[in-house]
Structure 1
Amino acid sequence: MAGIGRGLLWTLLLVLAAVLGVVVWARATSAPQVSGDVTLGGLSGPVTVTRDAWGVPHIRAQSDEDAVYALGYVHWQDRAWQMDFQRRVVAGRLSEVLGEPALAQDRFLRTWGFQQAAESVLPALSERSRSLVRAYTAGVNAAMGQGKVAPEFRILGYTPEAWKEVDSVSWSKLMAYDLGGNMEDEVLNTRVTQRLGQQGLDEVTAPYPADGPTILSGDELAKTGVRPAGGLDTASLSTSALGALQAHLNAARELGLQAVPGKGSNDWVIGGSRTASGKPILADDPHLALTSPMLWYLADIQGPTLKAIGASIPGLPAIVIGRNERVAWGVTNTNPDVQDLYIEPADASFTQRQETIKVKGGADVTLTVRESRHGPVVSDAGAADVGPRVALKWTALQPGDTTMDAFMGLNYARNWDDFKTALSQYVAPSQNFVYADVDGNTGYYAPGRVPLRNGWDGSLPVSGDGSREWTGYIPFEGLPHTYNPADGLVVTANNKVVPDSYAYNLGNSRNWAEPYRAERITQLLTARPDGLTVQDVKAVQLDTVSLVWRDLKEELLATQPDGDLSRQALELLRGWDGDERADAVAPSIFEAWLMQLQKMAQDELGNSTTLNSLSVLRQLQADSELCRNAAAQVQNCAAELSASLGRAVDDLSARLGSDPSAWTYGKLHHVASNHRAFGNVGALAWLFNHGAPTGGGTNTVNVARPEQGTFNQTHGPSYRQIIDLSDLNNSVFIGSLGQGGNPLGNHVSDQQSMWTEGEYLPMSTDAADWGKVKTLTLTPGK
């Protein structure tokens, strides 16, 4: 036995040595050069790239083009796989490297024409933007030429192609899909009206409360008046069309692009009258899918006139959220209705194009895509004998998108006028931009193309016979905005933008996120009318108190328990203050119960239907028909409360054991930053995925909605920033994971523990704040 034991030990040691050898080799062949000197063509002068203790590059160049060249260089060094994957997504070329399992996604992407939309962007851009895109592209290709290969390329066995200028604008099209549009709403609304009638829309998706907070008040609006009448249309979709559209939505979900209840963002700007310093403080935390690598890449770019620091996106040549030496900005999703489904008449004319999808390990697939005057037909797979075709009209697919000009302009903005001029070029996705400057001014603008509709509200598909056409877009000057508001505060959390006195229609009453986050942020910021500091703002960003619990508490605690576990769970909830801390038990019970209640419409509408918290509240308060489930012998909402609590505690017991006092939230609720390609590949997931216990929940300010079925946090604050306009280098930021994309690198996840614990990095251009550094000098060559 001892001999067998020694033999097994030696075998394990040899395997371990082999694994370590592979890791050492892989790190040596994929790790980027971050210090010393490298000679590169395409530069006009030397550039220094100083990476700080967290891997954040601080770029110093003698020309703006060289600074952006260096940004492209470091983006590829640290995020090569992410950049290649993103451009493959836009182009619908995943099957080339992932094989047949990615074919449905490629069909969706090719049908919608994201790549064609991206290619129409470049000719519309200003010369300054084109020049910076060219410089960025040269920098990416210079890094690619250094011979370092990301592990994903080795695993999948292919070499990435040279970077092209269109690749530097293409990902913005997928961001527009992720953050804008309501096709998914139109599909759901169609199913609802077919099953429950038009009155069912307010049952399944509760309208925004009449007393809910709006971003702007009536006296802050630039224009008020009477809006054109808008109502529900009567056009409907066939079963086959609904199935085809749902297939597109399912493919988007596989890519991490989907509407998630509670998904959103927070940003706010506080005027100097409310702060200790007398100057503004601006905060932002965009809530997006939490992936590995993380979406954002923190960077500091300094040229002669381009001086910006904040969050960039690998593949895009600009700081997307951040500040320069005078101006700070933050963004959240506005979510106006910018998509419409058109049911084309029998005599409609179509153009068509052929798409060839190459499939690794399989034969090429040919896809015929038809387009009407409204846009791509999204209801068929190219067959000639299908029924009425449904086309999609969407602002992000229209030619002449100058959104890249807008972001470049923000990087250079010196004041409010420059800020507005930049945003006048903004197309999609519409965002809430908050503004502050070193002179003490604050502001807000919601730019983007928002269609004008006359006679319908966009909730349902409409006829393509010409009776329901867009008549233009809301003029830029008429879009919601304010400058130096009298109360010194603008708060946005994807809530309703304007009161009903606004002269235009941004969307129907179901378009907006629930009011809980906006209400809680405002509550915390106004509790102290002045003297606010960066530390105070941190506490607001990290707040995990649930106002959803406040509203549901009375209904839930009146529930009749159906067993001992349910009784114990109710007792644990009775004294709870609503704070969804990771070390508390009550959040586990509350979120598990809410998760069950959100399913109450699935017997009517199918398993993909999830109610939001506000809709759950409305059903319970009204003893709605949606509570009833004949198959489960549930006759009313009281019975549904008992049954759903029973299901919730049974689920928790199976996951965490039979003692409710041990059901601490952190055992159940983990952030899951998973890899887009290998996140579900068992042999590789351990290397590429990253997780940690987290607090927060559905609609808390520090949003961390548990995913149905897993309780994982898959969406949340992908980036946080707090900018102090009294001392710009006193500003802070943090990403959700780390700067690196290489799973074997030093900075792949070193920000995650800080992010979960509520810590921040210095958002400083002062080298004294950078900690231990490594400096790489890029020297011009032939």
Structure 2
Amino acid sequence: MRRGSWAGRLGWGLVWVVAVVLALLLAAVLWLRATSLPRVSGSLAVPGVSGAVTVTRDQWGVPHIRAATDADALYALGFVHWQDRSWQMEFQRRVVQGRLAEVLGAAALPQDRFLRTWGFQRAAESALPALKPRTRQLLSAYTAGVNAAMRQGKVAPEFRILGFTPQAWTDVDSVSWSKLMAYDLGGNMDDEVLGSRVLKRLGAGGLDQVTAPYPAGAPTILSADEVGQERATPPAPAGGTPSGGVPLPDQALTALRGHLAAARALGLEPVPGKGSNDWVVAGRLTASGRPILADDPHLSLTSPMLWYLADVQGDTLRAIGASIPGLPGIVIGRNDRMAWGVTNVNPDVQDLYVEPTGAALTSRTEVIRVKGGADVSLVVQQSAHGPIVSGAGAEGVGERVALRWTALEPGDTTMDAFLDLNYARTWPEFTQALSRYVAPSQNFVYADIDGNTGYYAPGRVPIRRGWDGSLPVPGDGTREWAGYVPFAELPHTLNPADGLVVTANNKVLPQSGALGNERNWAEPYRAERITQLLRARGDGLTVADVQAVQLDTTSLVWRDLRDALLGTRPGSPLATRALELLRGWDGNETVDSVQATIFEAWLMQLQTMARDELQDQTVMNSLSVLNQLKGDGELCRDEARAVADCAALLRVTLDAAVADLGARLGDDPAGWTYGRLHTVASTHRAFGGVPALAWLFNHSAPTPGGTNTVNVARPEQGTFRQTHGPSYRQIIDLANPDASVYIGSLGQSGNPFGDHVTDQQRRWVAGQYLPMSTRPADWGRARVLTLTPAP
């Protein structure tokens, strides 16, 4: 050994220790890989199929399933879902069941308490008997496929790390995940909690300051002439003083904010700018003469990604698009004759009731098992309105607050609707499928190969008479739901005269009516920009044109705030340089833009202007910020920082923003490119915050887009990470359906050792797509697994 060599300096003993550790790590990785990666080629004899089924995985790992029967096709879908996403499926059902602490330990108890108190699993169990016979048959076939894959003995790395074996899948497990989606995408309990705080601290007029009403004249999904008939339900009060509400007691507010914190820990949270875009263009506006349909649902960007691309064909089933592991069928996509897309409507389908003393309550005891600890008993109470959510386990501290929510009502047939969509071939069949839809209410756009286009907003929407649902109400019987809006009276249109339907979580009808009050809707920026771009391209739209719209990152928020921001008097040399960089900016938020970094950092500061009044972590949306700046609003004032008006707030927030950026990125603003801070964060739900494992399971990349751009990518407060966005994109060409395209945000495999973990992410960031084709010629290098009946 040479004197002075690294081994000599460290000593042979340490070298051996390092070598042994590395060898053990390599052995562990090889063992995890060998015991977890599924078989994707060859032939497997499995129980439960009636004939041979081929699963051809294309070069991106997307399975193309071909079976002689629909039941066998969905059996195979369940099989490949478990092969590629077993941990995701297990985690999802444990979330619904409130059984996380059983495998993650006491740290998950707040989440389990929240989930058990709300009763997601009980609601799923009550939904199963209401489903149609065909749905039950196909659901059982899917379940059999999941369990057949489970018996193959390949175990996801997460199961090895946590040291447990998953139990057999059940039909209820498939129904249950829709309940969490309903929570993530529907309801307004969080708005009621915020509204109660605002009412107590700022008075009734404060609500419109903190959460701005939808602007008059801003785009609505349906125009007045498309609404058609008069609605049977009365209009809800719009803006101004909320009607019929009562403030929540402080103890109840604290408890409810605890529920919301538990939901946030699960990635279920209200996020400004979280939503979706979908639109459909009639054939008379396209180059081909046939419709084009686009969709990009904006959800949490997780690892693995929520969606699983699949092509499923049986004897009558012909569906391709985005599925969700754990659910049978295609959730968003097309079949051989029609296509559909979804965005969130967000009608007001939740109400908090402050129950009077002496209200009749029922009780049950839930037992939560805790890894490494003693079992925890949880008493859950329920009133006539729903579960008591005013405390963890409803121990009876303070006034009792109950939740009524459409997704917890019995008889939920949403699973029927989604499976029937896979089979629908005409507008009447499409609407018949949606008549079974309950929650979460979605904007469905429609197109078929015959040239028809349409829109429907299905789901149970409560009728409230004389109150708007924006605040908690007394549970004394004076504020009860008067049934649901009849399906035929829900917003819809077929072949609209202007040939265009655009939805971006914006207001649905010119008059909100029973759908909600004027604060229910997303800001109009995305809808306005999509419509602007589509109309600017004239009547020869192509798939490439629609792709450009879907990927647009120009900020209309900047357009509206520009004059106020550029009129600021900076308080430091660094702020002066930053302000000069913003002059002349076109608002395009690309990864190499310095101006995008400055703008979003400044906007973040402005969005916190209500925190001194509310004494919490409220983040106002950009429309509320705009209203305050335009009117020199009261929320601009901050005595603690000696801020007397909006002009002073602009100076203080600009200084704070550039100081923060300087600390993160250095003193030269020319180097503050957006991609250095703004990265997509696809985070693992269990191990994303565990340093020893996060590197293996989390995935990130610089991304364009920002607050309320069409390609939405709102930076997270404090971190600048993009945690929500277009979780899936599709553009469907009804002139040539196999020329359609789609893409997910990460990859098909949930196994960190798999071949298709992140191979879609690079294309997703770059604005590229995969062929949404049922033709083998478009699949590239393929691997074929054949499932045959076990003897």
Q: Identity across aligned pairs (percent)?
A: 71
Q: Deviations over 1:134-155 (max 9, x none)?
A: 0000000000000000000000
| CA positional deviation for 1:234 | 3.9
Q: Deviations over 1:186-205 (max 9, x none)?
A: 00000001000010000000
Task: Verify: 1:83 aligned to 2:89, yes or no.
Answer: yes
Q: Where does 1:263-662 land on structure 2 (aligned, <5 Å)?
A: 263-382=274-393, 385-500=396-511, 504-662=513-671
The structure 2 residue matched to 1:62, chosen from 49, 59, 68, is 68
| CA positional deviation for 1:229 | 5.7
- SS in structure 1 opposite 2:515? coil
CA distance in 2, matches of 1:606, 1:278: 56
Letter in 2 for 1:697: G
| CA positional deviation for 1:9 | 6.4
Q: Deviations over 1:576-621 (max 9, x none)?
A: 1000000110000000000000000001112320100000000111
| CA positional deviation for 1:6 | 8.2
Q: Where does 1:654-673 land on structure 2 (aligned, <5 Å)?
A: 654-673=663-682
CA RMSD of superposed structures (Å): 1.2
Q: Deviations over 1:268-317 (max 9, x none)?
A: 00000110000000000000000000000000000010110000000000
Aligned partners of 1:222 and 1:478 also within 8 Å:
no
Letter in 2 for 1:678: F
Task: Verify: 1:676 aligned to 2:685, yes or no.
Answer: yes
Aligned partners of 2:105 and 2:372 also within 8 Å:
yes
CA distance in 2, matches of 1:711, 1:82: 26
CA distance in 2, matches of 1:140, 1:51: 18
Letter in 2 for 1:691: S
- SS in structure 2 opposite 1:132? helix
The structure 2 residue matched to 1:4, chosen from 3, 9, 16, is 9
Task: Verify: 1:151 aligned to 2:157, yes or no.
Answer: yes
| CA positional deviation for 1:27 | 1.0
Letter in 2 for 1:267: D
Aligned partners of 2:381 and 2:394 also within 8 Å:
no
Hey, what does 2:718 align to over in structure 1?
A: 709
Task: Verify: 1:178 aligned to 2:198, yes or no.
Answer: no
Q: Where does 1:118-129 land on structure 2 (aligned, <5 Å)?
A: 118-129=124-135
CA distance in 2, matches of 1:570, 1:708: 21
| CA positional deviation for 1:4 | 2.5
CA distance in 2, matches of 1:616, 1:296: 34
- SS in structure 1 opposite 2:581? helix
CA distance in 2, matches of 1:15, 1:538: 49
Aligned partners of 2:245 and 2:469 also within 8 Å:
no
CA distance in 2, matches of 1:155, 1:630: 52
Q: Where does 1:13-28 land on structure 2 (aligned, <5 Å)?
A: 14-28=20-34
CA distance in 2, matches of 1:655, 1:539: 32
In the alignment, structure 1 segments of 5+ residues that lack a partner are none
Q: TM-score, normalised by structure 2?
A: 0.97
CA distance in 1, matches of 2:647, 2:697: 45
CA distance in 2, matches of 1:487, 1:384: 56
The structure 1 residue matched to 2:223, chosen from 196, 205, 217, is 217
CA distance in 2, matches of 1:384, 1:582: 50
CA distance in 1, matches of 2:728, 2:230: 35
Q: Deviations over 1:238-283 (max 9, x none)?
A: 0000001000000000000000000000000000011000000000
Hey, what does 1:112 align to over in structure 2?
A: 118
Aligned partners of 2:32 and 2:157 also within 8 Å:
yes
- Runs of 4 or more above 6 Å deviation: none
CA distance in 2, matches of 1:547, 1:407: 35
Task: Verify: 1:189 aligned to 2:200, yes or no.
Answer: no
CA distance in 1, matches of 2:115, 2:398: 22
- SS in structure 1 opposite 2:639? coil
CA distance in 2, matches of 1:491, 1:606: 38
Q: Where does 1:683-762 land on structure 2 (aligned, <5 Å)?
A: 683-762=692-771
CA distance in 2, matches of 1:381, 1:411: 40
- SS in structure 2 opposite 1:363? coil
| CA positional deviation for 1:17 | 3.9
Letter in 2 for 1:20: L
Q: Deviations over 1:692-730 (max 9, x none)?
A: 000100000000000001000000000000000000010
- SS in structure 1 opposite 2:161? helix
| CA positional deviation for 1:101 | 0.5
Change (3 A) 1:591 1:319: same
Aligned partners of 1:671 and 1:691 also within 8 Å:
yes
How many residue pairs are counted as aligned between the two chains? 780
| CA positional deviation for 1:13 | 5.2
Q: Deviations over 1:376-422 (max 9, x none)?
A: 00002346552321000000000000000000110000100000000
Task: Verify: 1:235 aligned to 2:246, yes or no.
Answer: yes
Letter in 1 for 2:529: R
Change (3 A) 1:650 1:228: closer
| CA positional deviation for 1:156 | 0.4
| CA positional deviation for 1:640 | 0.5
Task: Verify: 1:167 aligned to 2:148, yes or no.
Answer: no
- SS in structure 1 opposite 2:331? strand
Q: Deviations over 1:617-643 (max 9, x none)?
A: 001111111111111111111110000
Change (3 A) 1:776 1:229: closer
Letter in 1 for 2:594: V
Letter in 1 for 2:544: Q
Change (3 A) 1:532 1:13: farther
- SS in structure 2 opposite 1:393? strand
CA distance in 2, matches of 1:385, 1:565: 54
- SS in structure 1 opposite 2:234? coil
Letter in 2 for 1:353: R
Letter in 2 for 1:4: R
CA distance in 1, matches of 2:725, 2:543: 21
Letter in 2 for 1:61: A
Change (3 A) 1:69 1:229: closer
CA distance in 2, matches of 1:380, 1:563: 48
Hey, what does 1:201 align to over in structure 2?
A: 207
CA distance in 1, matches of 2:396, 2:747: 50
- SS in structure 2 opposite 1:198? coil
Hey, what does 1:38 align to over in structure 2?
A: 44
CA distance in 1, matches of 2:310, 2:526: 29
CA distance in 1, matches of 2:87, 2:31: 18
CA distance in 1, matches of 2:625, 2:437: 36
| CA positional deviation for 1:22 | 2.2
Aligned partners of 1:543 and 1:702 also within 8 Å:
yes
| CA positional deviation for 1:18 | 3.5
In the alignment, structure 2 segments of 5+ residues that lack a partner are none
- SS in structure 2 opposite 1:521? helix
